[in-house]
Amino acid sequence: MREARPGEEVEIDFPPQFSEGQKVRALALVRNDGTYPNASVGDVLIEPGAIGYVHHVGTFLARHYIYAIEFVKERRLVGMRAKELEAVEMLR
């Protein structure tokens, strides 16, 4: 296991909380931080309660999982952390 800073665990030492294809709900408001194309910085991209599907599971800084969530209604693919999501349906 990698050494974490005090109070911070290294997520990737454990399995991802969500799997590709899993249906999830956004718990957090997501605004453009300047990395989302064709939107101004600060624009709301996803509202809490929006439903999406895990498109891909990646990592960030070799510490955190980043879940690429496809929000069909909003027609957006947005990267989110596990703490910003909840499962709507469990995969079997």
Domains parsed from the chain with CATH numbers: 13-87 (2.30.30)
Distance, CA of 59 to CA of 45 (rounded, Å) = 21
Q: What is the mean pLDDT of the chain?
A: 89
At 4-37, the pLDDT tens digits run: 555 567 888 899 999 999 999 999 999 999 988 8
Q: What is the pTM of this model?
A: 0.83
pLDDT of residue 90: 63
Looking at per-residue pLDDT, the higher value among 6 and 76 belongs to: 76
Distance, CA of 63 to CA of 15 (rounded, Å) = 12
Give me the residues paired with residue 70 across strands. 53, 77
